[in-house]
Structure 1
Amino acid sequence: MSSEGELISTGEDEQSTYYQPSFNRKNGYDPETGIYHSVLQLNEQQKMSNDYSNLDTAKFVLSQFPSPAQAMSQIALIDSSTNQKITYTQLNRSILSLATGLYRALGVRKGDVIFVLSSNSIIYPTICLAILSIGAILSPANPLNTESEIGKQVRLSRAKLAIAAPEEVHKLVHTGVPTLLTTRSNDENLISVQELIENCDPLELPKQRPMPLDTAAILYSSGTTGVSKGVVITHANFVAIMKLLKYYVEATSSQDDVFLCFVPMFHVYGLAFFGLGLFCSGVTTVLMQKFDLQGMLEAIQTHKISHIPAVPPVILGLVKYNKGSNYDLSSLRSVTSGAAPLSKEVADAFREKFPWVELKQGYGLTETTGAATFFVNYEEAKARPSSVGVLFPGFSAKVINHETGEASPPFKEGELWLKGPGIMKEYFGNEEATSATITKDGWLKTGDLCYFDDKGYLYIVDRIKELIKHNGYQVAPAELEAILLSHHEILDAAVVPLEDEEAGQIPLAYVVRADSSGLTQDQIIQFVSSQVAPYKKVRRVNFINAIPRSAAGKILRKELVLQSNMPILSKL
């Protein structure tokens, strides 16, 4: 399946095929303004033939489904645990039937917020697209959250209705919000999504359609370093990102390819890619309810998975797993890493172990609707294992020096600021946080320390708030974590700051050892110190059974910092 519009060479090398840039600078940098522009600008033909600005999210996604003749046989979704399959024709009917039930039977209207609390399931994309089809607002949440956290999110979003998995309903009882089940249960007082789909004939969508700047979803930021906030994503945001993902998928895969989804669809990564985006390219997705390594390996073998959009802990798991388990992974062609930084060491180890698989990184935030940078060409990804790629078409960036407030040229570090079609509208009901994050002229302050190289490739160093201040030097936890993970007896690791009277802060490492490992604190400290400058070395090690991570794979450093908040017994 070819993408619309012709891909041509940038002239950098014979392997580089990108969309024709609208300027001559190969790195996209304008020294007069300090702005980095995408080197992958869409040409005029693509802009003219793909103008979907008048479509809302659901109407756009449904318009991209395969033709009626193809849709009857083309599989959209497969449940990895039950092998249940849904064609694009069945998916389309389910979406419209559920939308009809929500609109006519339950009285859901444009602008109403529907709170969704469920793990991944084969019905999840239907729920999302049905909600968006009637102009209601989708607000998905992490089912691992506590009853108290769920209550706060329901109140924050001002939800009118909730849709929940049967095992999660108890967390919503005290909110008083009417609740619909994802599947049938023994509770006769609650109806399910399945019942609405079966009992409602699909009708035309409401004539009153959402406008591009209307709110489509309220997503929750990960809150890894602070309180979670409601991120307002508009229909214009979603449509723009769906269009970009469509170009990316069709430039790097074919309609016969099979994708594996274990990234949670309540997270922007899973929602944008699997809940919405892949349907625009007519491919097949195999769904896992939740991730486990053995289940993933079995799914790859059984369903001949070719593509896995993943997160760094999953890639690390593949690197560490025993190849003697004899799973056939030969169908796998591509693994994309996102949601958190992937170290060069882990990337190199993956490529050595799976040389036939293309591993590429991308970068995005909840606040950018999940996308900002990517790689098309694998040779360039392999040549720059620490990079997250180049800016998507339509995106631009600045690298701001914190001390001077000025924009930085290539190879100079600073905070990444972004502008583009995926930038959120606001933090819901939080003007103070919005104004602190989005400048008056529309730049999103990401909070990530970064730099661009001389070809326009972006490198993320670490979160600025997570940098450790040691004797006036800045130490990036991600750099130390990458070194720790290169040790064959370390399964996982995280580095956090520990307060110190003399140095201000010292690097403290939390380490998960292999079962048979007898590694000591001194051995680990020596292993790291032999590879870094003296001020960067780990000063203390705590052993732990598991590193706490968000559903998207980000280290929950605030939990580790709380654990480490104790007097230091000795100075190292």
Structure 2
Amino acid sequence: MGCGDMVLMAPSHIDLAIPFYAAFYMGVIVAVVDRTLGVEELRGTFAVDRPKIVFCQSEKAPDIQLALNELELDTKIVTFDKGEFLCSFSEFLEEYNDGTSVEDFKPNDFDPEDAIALLIATSGTTGLPKAAAVTHKNFAINGPYLWSRCTTFPAPTRMALVGSPLQWLTAIMNFILSPIMKYTRLQTSIALTQEHAYDLINTYKPTFAIFSPTLMTTLIKPGDRDRCDFTSLELVILGGSAVPNDLIKEVKEISPDTEVMDCYGMSELSCIGFHGDGSSPPGSCGSPMGCFQYRLINTETMEDILEPNVPGELWIKGPGIFKEYYNNPEATEETFAEDRWFKTGDTFYRDAAWNFYFVERIKLLLKYKSNQISPVELENVIRQHPGVLDVAVTGIPDPECGELPVACVVRRPDSDVTAQDIKDLVKETLSDSKQLRGGVIFMSAIPMTASTKVHRRKLKEFALVLDKE
């Protein structure tokens, strides 16, 4: 393989670090995907990424092979465990070992400003698969700022608990930073449930962890939290969705010596968006970082908001911003304003001291546990049913899981399509995280705005009060 070739990695596995780091040295592009994707979703991913090698577990190999066959891709599958008629990782290393010593190995030459290091899966309001192309320079610029808050560089922490799968920016950054900053990465190959998190924290005593607000809420649930010793945690970062102030206060009450931060980041930033520390006001994501420039934009007038405490869309610019959406020039052009200002799609406001506060996500992406769910993707699947005239998907809040997808469906005249029919269609087509756990609501019409767009706010209000099947 050479510079610009693609290698795709699906699982969280301890040996994953070997091809991950090797690809960086070779200038090979790493694409990371959700290991729970089904055949149709994998086919969509492969159509964009077109990898030469896929690293995965043997249980996932059949689905991957089916998706590759549909696209007629001659891609090698390497599994971290052994499987019948499969190439294991140990066999792969033996097959391609040319005897080069570590001392004699030379990385490939490439332009770090232009060469893509990673493709990070993301999805916008279109619901179509997109991959944010992040260059070597992006990571080199942003990396030091992640720990600029620390005075003990290069060892800001002893052990970081990495519960998120590799397709999440938090896991990627810890893969990159742990050898540079000399801390141990505590990684799990299975989903980070409440019980598993308790076991990891009690056994290994990590000093740093990144959790979603929903997982943190589960971990500190009254009646359960006494089973976990949180005192080893010097720093806990909460992010991925809006962080309630009460949650931060409750964590501090349980473990007073633990610093708790509200963090904002995006795949497209290849980094967190703000510098935060213990002095940040409650509810704030922090203050501006030196590697970025910031603007708040009134989306109706497209003018800059210069006053404090006025919400607007956050735009960010800097050398760490991702290069493009891979093989998707239309989406790239849409997301960048003039002079490469990146439009985050998120609403923020700032106070007089330039602390920034997250308000809401303009984009429609739902968050179920650690999974991102596109309402449009679900809608496109449900519309395939011949008995469905129209559909809109929204989410209802859940304290344990974040949001549960709800399908609001308009039947065709004389159609007898049932809620179970809709759920079965989704189950046959999409992965487990995208199932309609919030239920199905049958309506006479989808609420619309004056401009004939789906009225998302009213839709959510209806979903909260109407009977769901």
What TM-score, normalized by structure 1, do the two folds share?
A: 0.61
Q: Distance in 2 between matches of 1:316 and 1:253?
A: 31
RMSD of aligned Cα (Å) = 3.5
2:260 equivalent among 337, 353, 359: 359
State the match for 1:288 in structure 2.
188
Decide whether the 8 Å contact of 1:246 with 1:281 is kept in 2. no
Q: Distance in 2 between matches of 1:177 and 1:164?
A: 16
- Aligned pair count reads 387
State the match for 2:359 in structure 1.
461
State the match for 1:438 in structure 2.
336
State the match for 2:139 in structure 1.
238
Cα distance change on mapping 1:193 and 1:430 into 2, 3 Å: farther
Q: CA deviation at 1:163?
A: 1.5
* 1:276 partnered with 2:173: no
What letter is aligned with 1:367? Answer: E
* 1:113 partnered with 2:6: yes
Long gaps (5+) in structure 2: 368-372, 376-391, 402-432, 445-461
1:415 equivalent among 298, 310, 313: 313
State the match for 1:386 in structure 2.
283
Q: CA deviation at 1:370?
A: 3.1
Which whole-Å deviations, capped at 9, do the CAs of 1:215-271 have from their partners, x for residues lacking one? Answer: 112111045872231111111111112222243455589466211111111222211
Decide whether the 8 Å contact of 1:116 with 1:164 is kept in 2. yes
SS in 2 for 1:132: helix
Q: CA deviation at 1:283?
A: 0.8
Decide whether the 8 Å contact of 1:269 with 1:339 is kept in 2. no
Matches within 5 A, 1:91-130: 108-118=1-11, 120-130=12-22
State the match for 2:241 in structure 1.
340
Cα distance change on mapping 1:355 and 1:189 into 2, 3 Å: closer
Q: Distance in 2 between matches of 1:228 and 1:435?
A: 16
What letter is aligned with 1:277? Answer: L
What letter is aligned with 1:566? Answer: M
State the match for 1:566 in structure 2.
443
SS in 2 for 1:208: coil
Q: CA deviation at 1:116?
A: 1.3
1:308 equivalent among 200, 204, 209: 209
SS in 1 for 2:134: strand
Q: CA deviation at 1:566?
A: 3.4
What letter is aligned with 1:152? Answer: G
Which whole-Å deviations, capped at 9, do the CAs of 1:349-393 have from their partners, x for residues lacking one? Answer: 2222322211012211111113221313x1x13xx2211111221
Matches within 5 A, 1:164-179: 164-174=56-66, 175=68, 176-179=73-76
Q: CA deviation at 1:348?
A: 2.1
Q: CA deviation at 1:143?
A: 0.5
More displaced stretch, 146-155 vs 199-208? 199-208
Matches within 5 A, 1:371-520: 371-376=272-277, 378=278, 380-381=279-280, 384-409=281-306, 410-466=308-364, 509-511=396-398
Which whole-Å deviations, capped at 9, do the CAs of 1:397-444 have from their partners, x for residues lacking one? Answer: 110012221111221111000111221111112121111100131100
Which whole-Å deviations, capped at 9, do the CAs of 1:271-294 have from their partners, x for residues lacking one? Answer: 12x211222101111111220112
Cα distance change on mapping 1:326 and 1:161 into 2, 3 Å: closer
Decide whether the 8 Å contact of 1:184 with 1:194 is kept in 2. no
Instruction: Give identity over the alignment, percent.
Output: 23
State the match for 1:299 in structure 2.
200
Q: Distance in 1 between matches of 2:273 and 2:172?
A: 15
Q: CA deviation at 1:324?
A: 6.4
Decide whether the 8 Å contact of 2:155 with 2:182 is kept in 1. no
What letter is aligned with 2:160? Answer: F
State the match for 1:546 in structure 2.
none
Decide whether the 8 Å contact of 1:124 with 1:275 is kept in 2. no
Matches within 5 A, 1:79-98: none
Q: CA deviation at 1:151?
A: 1.2
Q: Distance in 1 between matches of 2:228 and 2:439?
A: 40
Q: Distance in 2 between matches of 1:249 and 1:154?
A: 40
Q: Distance in 2 between matches of 1:265 and 1:417?
A: 26
Decide whether the 8 Å contact of 2:51 with 2:75 is kept in 1. no
More displaced stretch, 185-194 vs 423-432? 185-194
Q: Distance in 2 between matches of 1:393 and 1:147?
A: 42
Cα distance change on mapping 1:374 and 1:193 into 2, 3 Å: farther
* 1:146 partnered with 2:43: no
SS in 1 for 2:313: strand
Q: Distance in 2 between matches of 1:165 and 1:433?
A: 32
SS in 2 for 1:186: coil
Higher relative contact order (CA 8 A, sep 6+): 1
Decide whether the 8 Å contact of 1:249 with 1:281 is kept in 2. no
SS in 1 for 2:260: strand
Cα distance change on mapping 1:509 and 1:190 into 2, 3 Å: closer
Q: Distance in 1 between matches of 2:121 and 2:7?
A: 14
Q: Distance in 2 between matches of 1:387 and 1:137?
A: 35
* 1:181 partnered with 2:78: yes
State the match for 1:229 in structure 2.
130
Cα distance change on mapping 1:266 and 1:357 into 2, 3 Å: same
Cα distance change on mapping 1:116 and 1:249 into 2, 3 Å: farther
SS in 2 for 1:123: helix
Q: Distance in 2 between matches of 1:513 and 1:458?
A: 27
Long gaps (5+) in structure 1: 1-107, 468-476, 479-493, 497-504, 515-554
Cα distance change on mapping 1:312 and 1:327 into 2, 3 Å: closer
Q: Distance in 2 between matches of 1:121 and 1:127?
A: 11
SS in 2 for 1:347: helix
SS in 2 for 1:305: coil
Q: CA deviation at 1:466?
A: 4.7
State the match for 2:424 in structure 1.
none
* 1:370 partnered with 2:282: no
Q: CA deviation at 1:560?
A: 7.3
Q: Distance in 1 between matches of 2:63 and 2:233?
A: 39
Q: Distance in 1 between matches of 2:359 and 2:157?
A: 37
Q: Distance in 2 between matches of 1:433 and 1:559?
A: 28
